[in-house]
Homo-oligomer: A and B are copies of this chain.
Amino acid sequence: MEPRPRGRPRTYDPAVALDQARAAFWNTGYAATSLDDLSAATGLNRPSLYGAFGDKKAMYIQALEKSRAEINVSLAAAFAPEDHLRTALTRVYEATAAIYMRGEAGPRGCFLVGTAVTEAVDDPDVRAVLAAALAEIDAAFEGRIRRAMEVGNLPGSSDAAGMARVATGVLNGMAVRARAGGDLATLRAMGASVVDLICGRAGR
């Protein structure tokens, strides 16, 4: 238990405030989300926001990093069980499709794909987070695919790195489609199709 800090205690939880700020960014993107929007979303007024997270850009980067971390955790969890590759991949795509479709203002897809991609060209910091996240997702897929190859679920000659990038790419495509108004069935079908292509159509 860390000792209570000296002065007046804050009346909010920075973690939930960051979640609420992220939700605001998630809907309208970085540039179109004003500090007033963030203030309304979090319930904090602007000076408090500034004190808690720094400026708008820093707040956004922290939201991006949070998503990146969450993605890593859930991918690691989904890929941990030593079941069949097809089962593992299906689990990931099903879960992702469900996540991408939620949001009270309509499906919002992936936070990174939906908002950071636009900023990435002009902003090296955003670009770095996005690139790191993609590399980590690639690595998660590739590691799981390699394990399947070792176990014999996939031919030894398979191109694990290439399959992994395709797997990530379809994930990105699902995120695009979610924001474009695609329905859950389409997203799930995309996942099922790429699983078929990677594991083989018939493959059990």
Least CB distance, A169 to chain B, in whole angstroms? 2
Q: Indicate the size class of the contact surface on chain A.
A: 35 or more
Do the beta carbons of B179 and A166 come within 8 Å of each other? no
Do the beta carbons of A117 and B118 come within 8 Å of each other? yes
The answer to whether A159 and B193 touch (CB under 8 A), given A29-B31, A114-B117, A180-B130, is: yes
Q: How many copies does the complex hold?
A: 2
Least CB distance, A177 to chain B, in whole angstroms? 6
- Stretch of A41-49, A71-79, A103-111 with 4 or more beta carbons under 8 angstroms from chain B: A103-111
The answer to whether A169 and B190 touch (CB under 8 A), given A105-B121, A108-B121, A114-B117, is: yes
A89 at the interface (CB under 8 A from B): no
The 9 A-B pairs with the shortest beta carbon distances in the complex, nearest first, are A169-B173, A162-B193, A31-B31, A29-B118, A31-B32, A172-B173, A169-B170, A197-B197, A130-B180
Q: Residues of A at under 8 Å CB distance from B? A: 27-32, 103, 105-109, 113-115, 117-122, 127-128, 130-131, 134, 157-159, 161-163, 165-166, 168-177, 179-182, 186, 189-190, 192-194, 196-198, 201
